[in-house]
Amino acid sequence: MVVLISNEQITQVGNINCNIQHAIFDWEEKTQGLLLSGFYYGYFCTQILGGFLALKFGSKWVLGIGLLSTALLTFLTPIITRTGGSTWLFILRIVEGMGEGPTMPALAHMMARWIPPHERSILSAIIFGGGQFGNIFGPIISGILLDKARDWAYVFYFFGAFGLFWFTLWSLLCYSEPNEHPFISKKESYT
C-alpha cells in the first residue's frame, strides 16, 4: 500500500501516476479488513431487532431512521478517522452497521404490506436490483468526487448529504401501510 503524509507528492499506484494532496492512512491489511468488516458485525446484531421494531412501530420509521443514522455517521467518518484513528473508526463502522441492520427486515415488512402477492416476485427483483445499482455507481461517483475535490472526505460528505436528502423525501412521501396513505383508495389497497 502507498502511504503519503505530505502535500503535493506524485506517486505511482499500479500503472497510474497520482497527485496526492492529503494524507492516506498507513493501515496493515488486517486493520483494513477489520475496518471493512466492522459494519457487518453491527449489521448482523440488529437484524432480528429490526423485524420486531418494524412490526411494532411500522416499517417507515425503522427503515428511515436506520438509513438516517448511517447518513449522519457517514458525515462523522472523516472526522473520526483523522482524530481517533483506526480504533474509533472501527467502532463507528460497527455503530453504522447497527443503524442499518434493521433496514432489510423493515423493507421486507414494507414490501409485504405494499406489494400485492401476484406482483411480489418482479417488484422484489426491481427493488433489490436497485441496491446493486448503488454498488455499481457508488464507486464511480466516488472516483469522480475524488478527482474533482482532491480530498477523500468529500466522498463521505456527499453520500451523507445524499442520505439526508433521501430521508427528507422518505419522511414526506412514504407510509408504512397503504391504508395510511392519504391518496390511496380502499379499492387500491389490498390489505
**Are 158 and 78 in contact, with CB atoms under 8 Å apart?**
no
pLDDT at 21 over 90: no
More confident residue, 121 or 25: 121
More confident residue, 165 or 27: 165
**Are 47 and 100 in contact, with CB atoms under 8 Å apart?**
no
pLDDT at 2 over 80: no
Please compute the mean of the pLDDT values over residues 70-85 and round it to a whole number.
94
Could you tell me the three cell numbers for 94?
Answer: 460497527
Q: Residue 19 — very low, low, confident or very high, per pLDDT cuts 50/70/90?
A: low
What SS3 state is found at 69? helix
**Are 160 and 72 in contact, with CB atoms under 8 Å apart?**
yes
Closest C-alpha to 13, from 141, 146, 157, 153:
146
The values of phi and psi at residue 166, to 5°, are -60, -45
Q: Residue 18 — very low, low, confident or very high, per pLDDT cuts 50/70/90?
A: low
Give residues with Cβ within 8 angstroms of 141, minimum separation 6.
158
Please compute the mean of the pLDDT values over residues 13-33 and round it to a whole number.
69
Any idea what DSSP says for residue 18? E
CA distance 27 to 37: 14
pLDDT at 92 over 90: yes
Amino acid found at 109: H
More confident residue, 16 or 92: 92
Please compute the mean of the pLDDT values over residues 16-33 and round it to a whole number.
72
| Beta-carbon count within 10 A of 98 CB | 22
Looking at the domain covering 29-180, what would its CATH class be? mainly alpha
The values of phi and psi at residue 20, to 5°, are -100, 125
Q: Residue 6 — very low, low, confident or very high, per pLDDT cuts 50/70/90?
A: very low
pLDDT at 189 over 70: no
Q: What is the pLDDT of residue 4?
A: 38
pLDDT at 3 over 50: no
Q: What is the pLDDT of residue 57?
A: 93
Q: What is the pLDDT of residues 132-165, one digit of tens each?
A: 998 899 999 999 998 888 788 999 999 999 999 9
Q: Could you state, in order of their start, the residue ranges of all structural domains in the chain?
A: 29-180
35-67: b or e for each residue (b if 16 or more CB lie within 10 Å)?
beebbeebbeebeeebbebbeeebbbbbbbbbb
Q: What is the pLDDT of residues 123-141, one digit of tens each?
A: 999 999 988 998 899 999 9
Q: Model-level pTM greater than 0.85?
A: no
Give residues with Cβ within 8 angstroms of 182, minimum separation 6.
none
Q: What is the pLDDT of residue 7?
A: 43
